[in-house]
Amino acid sequence: MSERPSGAGSISGISAVVLGESLADEEHELVFPSAEFSATALVSSPQQYKEMYERSIKDPAGFWSEIADAFYWKEKWNPSEVCSENLDVSKGPVHISWFKGGKTNICYNAVDRNVEAGNGDKIALYWEGNEPGQDGKLTYSELVEKVCQLANYLKSVGVGKGDAVIIYLPMLLELPIAMLACARIGAVHSVVFAGFSADSLAQRIVDCKPKLVLTCNAVKRGPKPILLKDIVDAALVESEKNGFSVGICLTYENQSVMKRQDTKWQAGRDVWWQDVVTNFPTKCDVEWVDAEDPLFLLYTSGSTGKPKGVMHTSGGYMVYTATTFKYAFDYKPTDIYWCTADCGWITGHSYVTYGPLLNGAAVLVFEGTPNYPNAGRCWDIVDKYKVSIFYTAPTLVRSLMRDGDEYVTRYSRKSLRVLGSVGEPINPSAWRWFYNVVGDSKCPISDTWWQTETGGFMMTPLPGAWPQKPGSATFPFFGVQPVIVDEKGQEIEGECSGYLCIKKSWPGAFRTLYGDHDRYETTYFKPFAGYYFTGDGCSRDKDGYHWLTGRVDDVINVSGHRIGTAEVESALVSHPQCAEAAVVGVEHEVKGQGIYAFVTLVDGIPYSEELRKSLIAKVRTQIGAFAAPDRIHWAPGLPKTRSGKIMRRILRKIAAKQLDELGDISTLADPGVVDQLIALKDC
């Protein structure tokens, strides 16, 4: 770990609440940015951060209006309505709005504005294909033309402001193009990760009722071809059974994987992208939308079986994603930026598409998997494009760490300047490997904590501003007021652990769950009145650094993907030979958390390896491969209270092999079930 550099700014003047007064006694725990890095950083010292942060809390309207002024607004927002909110369910319906009355367009700000500023010839998007040697690129001028052609096509088939469009595409350039085209005409895009099953896709289609679905015929992930159009076809059949029919399926021909003559086709509904979109003009008028008009829906797993349609709006989200990207990565116009996330998740929305392009960045879009054809692929790509900011998930870091240093050190990586982590807390050993081996002990790590619901970073190091502690998300971003509360909702000060909540809103906050505002209030605002409840646990150390401890509800974080236990249980129980199932998360060396399923079979059905595989396949079919249980544990019965509630605490201990920590089981209706489960743990 690096020593404190000579000339590093003194932090003794920062209050304990913000940075802690005892840091000087704990230098051995800290990793300091180099004096050279801090000298050119956008936020270069704890004092500068403290001043900006305090202003963002004391004068949020002034702070965010000043930042918003840097973007183009067709009409300015009402100065007296920069922010309006009620987070307290006891005082009426929950509502949040920012820049109300202002009219803008995020596509215009992300693309046209960069062209008009003289950066039309700058590369906006680099594309690296699944196979080494497949690549492409678009300048900002070329990007705006592609976006306009698709936007004009969408308008020609009746898509207009407020209409939903489902996008089920892999990481081709057409995916961010499709997002931007929807935003340009005021349509609401809902990107569905192209790893979700037909059933999951159908659920989302039925919920948001899109005018059309965008997909491609096939894609390769590593050596394996995935027939995406077949999945969409099955989803469209399923959604029709559930009362909603999609009129158009616009399909991109991914020629390197599958020719059009080999693609299943339904005349009258299916349309080839290349046959129609390229015929449209390369200019398309912008639809100016209110700051509070919806921009996109993104479905996320919940603790009940039905996915939640998280709705983000245009103005506040635009300002917040652009600002968080700029400061958290210390973005400079010369940077080449690569985020390994898929646009099917919020990270791909905020930090592949919108945040970087709003800053005029050059963004790398990667179609493939980071360990194909070998574990050196990431660093080969870093060297090829001279990537300077690399943002990825702890899952990938742990996976590459396990493959050994030699896959990293055979590449230069000298272009790297800032590293980033997203999706789950990164364990200190992985943090140190990422810092020391990948970053050659010179690249600060932006270890970001945030959620689909928050739209952008909530807590993150600012790379040049303060020392880091491996595994800590450190301090809140501007405008964010995190609090740790106990079970009664009382704020706890100083060194503590508890439930992480946010008081007061921020511009990137989601506004509702689509079609279900009651669930929005119940899930996020009723647990602790007056606060947004994150669903995460958090510890704060004596220096004020925050440490995220994971989900406290029934959601498992697998490789950064939030998966509701109820969804997996529902899929298992739909198997004709499964009577009951209970799913818990368990530590996993690579994924962070794995899915551990306790399964009770129908009477008379014997345990077998074939049945185990069949149950796992059921989950893969209904949700997707990423939700497949890592372990099926046969369970003649489940530990339940006399009222019938499953005691998941006991299941978690059994799954984690912490058998000496089971606690009191006398309240169970049948304590003998626990012995049965322990006896079967190795079956």
Determine the length of the chain. 683
User: Identity (one letter) of the amino acid at 21?
Assistant: E
Establish whether 447 is a catalytic residue: no
Rounded distance between C-alpha atoms, residue 160 and residue 188, angstroms: 9
Let me know: does 455 contact 477? Beta carbons within 8 Å: no
Crossing angle of the two packed helices 672-679 and 648-655, in degrees rounded to 10 = 30
678: three-class secondary structure by DSSP? helix
- Ramachandran angles phi, psi of 318, nearest 5°: -60, -50
- Residue 592's DSSP bridge partners are 558, 588
427: three-class secondary structure by DSSP? coil
- Residue 537's DSSP bridge partners are 499, 550
- Ramachandran angles phi, psi of 145, nearest 5°: -65, -45
Strands (E), 340-388: 362-366
Rounded distance between C-alpha atoms, residue 340 and residue 347, angstroms: 9
Residue in 630, 635, 644, 626 with CA at minimum distance from that of residue 573: 635
- Ramachandran angles phi, psi of 109, nearest 5°: -70, -30
Rounded distance between C-alpha atoms, residue 264 and residue 479, angstroms: 50
Rounded distance between C-alpha atoms, residue 301 and residue 344, angstroms: 13
Rounded distance between C-alpha atoms, residue 455 and residue 505, angstroms: 12
Residue in 170, 177, 205 with CA at minimum distance from that of residue 342: 170
- Supply 549's token pair: 């401890």
Helix (H) or strand (E) holding 319: helix 314-328
Task: Exactly one of 383, 516, 553, 630 is catalytic; name it.
Answer: 553
C-alpha angle 533-547-447 in degrees, rounded to nearest 5: 100
What DSSP letter does each residue of 265-299 carry, written as one string?
A: --TTTEEEHHHHGGGS-S------EETTSEEEEEE
Active site positions, annotated: 553
